[in-house]
Amino acid sequence: MQMNPNKDTQLCMSLSGRPGNFGLRFHNHLYEQLGLNFYYKAFSSQDLTGAVGGIRALGIRGCGVSMPFKEACIALVDELDASAAAIQSINTIVNTGGHLKAYNTDYIAVAQLLESHAVPKDSTFALRGSGGMAKAVASALRDGGYPNGLIVARNERAGRALADSLGYRWQAELGDERPQMLINVTPVGMDGGPEAGQLAFEPEVIKAAETVFDVVAIPSETPLIVRARAEGKRVITGLEVIAIQALEQFVLYTGVRPNEAQFAAAVDFARS
């Protein structure tokens, strides 16, 4: 990528347990196409306090926050936007003159996707997971008018707390439930992880569903999504989530909103 950095170049970054290339390629592509003097770099760190302190001290403009840092970062910022405060989970930090404000663009992305895919609001659903991203997804469902939900999480404390906070049920396992919408918000099926290549739900559960939503973005076609497509289900992919949330981060960092063609080109470039 053609870059001409100088002393005025603004740096944006991401913090993730497993850094990937999508955000880096997406943001840098748009910076170049739109003539913005920015550069984006992906990082991981074992010193979260030091990393967030560095954002403030070095004047880094923005930071995307991924698993497992979405809740731990809350205590390290100065202000929470309503999108993050409501669910106590962040995925974006914006630095304005040393003041760190946190947002949750995952929530925004999920809300948009439920609407654009026309998922019926009376659908029963089971959401597997109980971490920061699960909070964002479950909150978007609750706020979007989906009342018939089940949180499936082996961690009883976290699972019950999430379910109780949103008015949903909790179970450690799905059991005999056959919900109309399945949502995976765990690392099952993620490339490079211990459960890569595995299904987040059993084949018979997928067969009984109408909508399948996998938040895992790498690979873009997870085992769950591949099986759901083969069964003719409505699918929502993690790639769609990561693309929309990255777009909203881009707008927060730069104040510029790309048009649809520029957005689509950036997604294609980031995937290539």
β-strand partners of 221: none
Helix 238-254 to helix 260-271 angle (10° resolution) is 120
β-strand partners of 100: 95
Catalytic-role residue among 41, 70, 121, 233: 70
Closest C-alpha among 132, 131, 174 to residue 149:
174
State both tokens at 246: 């990255």
Q: List Cβ neighbours of 12 (8 Å cut-off, separation of 6 or more).
A: 27, 38, 39, 40, 41, 60, 61, 62, 63, 64, 253
Q: Please report the DSSP string for 16-47 in residue order.
A: -SS--SHHHHHHHHHHHHHT--EEEEEE--S-
Q: List Cβ neighbours of 175 (8 Å cut-off, separation of 6 or more).
A: none
**In the chain, count of helices (H) and strands (E)?**
10, 12
In whole angstroms, what is the distance from residue 252 CA to residue 248 CA? 6
70 is catalytic: yes
Torsion over CA: 156, 157, 158, 161 (sign): positive
For the annotated catalytic residues, the residue numbers are: 70
